[in-house]
Structure 1
Amino acid sequence: MVFWEGYVSDELMGTFAPIVVYWVYAGFYHLLPPLDKYRLHTRKDEERKNLVPFSTVVKGVLLQQLVQAIVTLFLLTTTTKASGVVEQPSIAKQILQFLIAMFVMDTWQYFVHRYMHQNKFLYRHVHSWHHTLVVPYAIGTLYNHPIEGLLLDTIGGAISFLISGMTARTAVMFFCFTMVKAVDDHCGLRLPGNIFHLFFQNNTAYHDIHHQLQGLKYNYSQPFFSIWDKLLGTYMPFNLVKRPGGGFEARLAKE
């Protein structure tokens, strides 16, 4: 039994809970004090290098979430009706479904993401939207061209859900977890005790390398593991060093 049972359907929770989680978690980072000694980029760099204003980013994120909500609600409702009443699987099975979904999502996002960099038309007209945030920050996590948002995130999530065989209730937890991980990867902070930095090599600094000019064709993997980068030669090693003025800097290992 979960706290929303009897109040909201699993399908509605799976659709809207990740959106709420996004704004709560990203908003948490946005409202934190400067924390200069933990930043991967200075605040001046964020203001100087990013090419789109904050208001445009917020509008872009809301548009992507609108499309995601429509597709997710349709997907969850349709699959639930098709399968009928399904008992919630054991914890062990749900963990297995989580792992399968994580691998499927990583696989989908790696190859679609990499192709968007290799295809000059797609990069110039679609994926470059995301890279206008040269210095990533939490609320800009889902700032993408609508086509990219649909292909990379929405369809990627749908495929992960379908292949893993999870129920709508398990999907609530998976989609929320995925959203928190994605936001954390874009937060631009290396906070002590952050469990995502402890348990995942693919983390804030890893993705920050990809947003740098020298790392643009490396570290495509997201949001969980670095398997495909390492297997296919697109992994860029880096060192996390303290910046003289405070904070950290993710530097390419070859520098």
Structure 2
Amino acid sequence: MKRSHNRSRNKKTGKADKNLDMADFQSATTVHDKKTHSTSGAQQPSLLSSLWSVLFVISSALIGFAAFRNTLTWHLQRFWGASGDFWQALWDRLLDVTGEDPFTFWVYGTTVLTVAVYWIFGGIYTILDVTNKPAVLRRYKVQPGTNEPVDTKRLLQVIGWVLFNQIVVGMPIAYLSYVLMKWRGSPPLRELPTFHWVLVEMAVHILMEEIGFYYSHRVLHSRYLYRFIHKRHHEWTAPIAVTAMYCHPLESIFSNLLPIFLGVFIMGSHVATAWLWFSLAILSTLNAHSGYHLPFFPSPEAHDFHHLKFNQCFGVLGVLDRIHGTDTLFRNTRAYTRHVMMLSLIPPREAFPDESKCSSKQRN
């Protein structure tokens, strides 16, 4: 009698647990809000500290980008022996070959560029995931033991959906962006903007993406939208780089493409500036989904934690998460301690080991 009672109780418990898991899975944001009310309290940041965070993140990104651009320009000018404005001269040569049709640049050029950047750099990560080589890089895994190697069937499914989103969904959106930019009034195609103005525009692009992505992403985590749209992207609780655009077509439009286009439209950016920004945004999301916390790369810990827990870290920069308290649980984990750019070859999990490992070392 005792055993049969336990079995029936286990069956009921199993069903209850399954229902609870599904409820949590489909309404993660609601669950988080309840936790935040009960646990965060004094941890809510002030508006001033959040504004400082915005300035620090954006200025750091722009300084790094400016340093990289200046170094690259200097080396290229020495290599080719170019004089004057190197980038303008290079752009003029391109226009002399392709012509100056804005449609070609905004629609075909944008599609070719973004697909190429995604698959060249995403392909490098995919080779690492498929071959598990070089083995030393596995020390940099955010979630050790996952996708080692990645499942081929799941990977092929991802590749198919990403190509669909990039071509079947992406090209019409590229055409729409061309129409909007034509209506908005974009600068002359032949003349590139000054580098300092590009930096100003980049700051706006970064800010607009953070706003657009954070709120659209949180909406996708609402009960019904999550179930029918966003759930596909969260099939990967330990993401790999090319899953960055593995999502429902509606999510691809409203949460991936629209946020990065917002700043371009507001600023009336030159197509070359837009291309530069789209490339940087793609590299950022590939890194955030890569599953590797590599030295001298921006930390992917926050977005990886989002895939693991569903109800934390909705933004790109983490600024709006701090303002809205949607990183409370994350900030109380070891992953948050590791959420820095590593400036040495020591893997983050070794530099900042889990607390249980720290305790056992101290006891020994």
TM tier relative to shorter chain = 0.7 to 0.9
Distance 1:77 1:252, change over 3 A: farther
Instruction: Report what 1:200 is aligned to.
Output: none
Gaps of 5+ in 1: 198-202
Determine the structure 2 residue equivalent to 1:70.
Answer: 172
Partner SS, residue 63 of structure 1:
helix
Output aligned runs, 1:19-168, within 5 Å.
19-32=115-128, 33=133, 34=135, 35-43=137-145, 45-46=146-147, 53-66=154-167, 67-76=169-178, 79-80=181-182, 83=185, 86=188, 87-117=191-221, 119-168=222-271
User: 2:326 is paired with a residue of what secondary structure?
Assistant: coil
Deviation at 1:47, TM superposition (A): 6.6
Gapped regions of structure 2 (runs ≥ 5): 1-87, 99-103, 339-346, 356-364
Query: What letter corresponds to residue 105 of structure 2 in structure 1?
Result: D
Change in Cα spacing, 1:96 to 1:55, as seen in structure 2 (3 Å) is same
Q: Distance in 2 between matches of 1:104 and 1:135?
A: 27
Higher fraction of helix = 2
Q: Matched residue pairs, number?
A: 236
Please name the residue that 1:10 is paired with: 105
Structure 1 or 2, whichever has the larger Rg, is 2
1:26-66 CA-partner distances (Å, limit 9, x unpaired): 001112324211111234x337998x711111111111112
SS of alignment partner, residue 104 of structure 1: helix
Residue 362 of structure 2 corresponds to which residue in structure 1? none
Provide closer, same or farther for how the CA distance between residues 204 and 94 of structure 1 changes in structure 2, counting only shifts above 3 A: same
In structure 1, the residue matched to 2:61 is none
Q: Distance in 2 between matches of 1:145 and 1:151?
A: 10
| CA RMSD in angstroms, aligned pairs only | 2.8
* In structure 2, distance between residues paired with 1:27 and 1:141: 12
Aligned residue type for 1:166: S
How many angstroms does 1:130 deviate by? 0.5
Task: Tell me: CA distance 1:234–1:85, structure 2 relative to 1, closer, same or farther (3 Å).
Answer: closer
Partners of 1:38 and 1:164 lie apart in 2 by 38
Task: Sort the Cα spacing of 1:107 and 1:160 in 2 relative to 1 into closer, same or farther, 3 A.
Answer: same
Q: Point out 4+ residue stretches in structure 1 off by more than 4 angstroms.
A: 47-50, 249-253
**What's the TM-score, normalizing by structure 2?**
0.59
Shift of 1:73: 3.5
With structure 1 as the length reference, what TM-score do the two structures score?
Answer: 0.82
Query: In terms of mean alpha carbon deviation, does 6-15 or 67-76 score higher?
Result: 6-15
Equivalent of residue 189 in structure 1, options 267, 292, 297: 292
Deviation digits for residues 117-155 of structure 1 (CA, Å, limit 9, x no counterpart):
1x2110011101110011110111110111111111122
Deviation, 1:90, is 1.5
Q: Secondary structure at the match of 2:95?
A: coil
Asked if the contact 1:72/1:158 (under 8 Å) is kept, the reply is: no
- 1:71-106 per-residue CA deviation (whole Å, 9 max, x = no partner) reads 113413652476376243211111111110111111
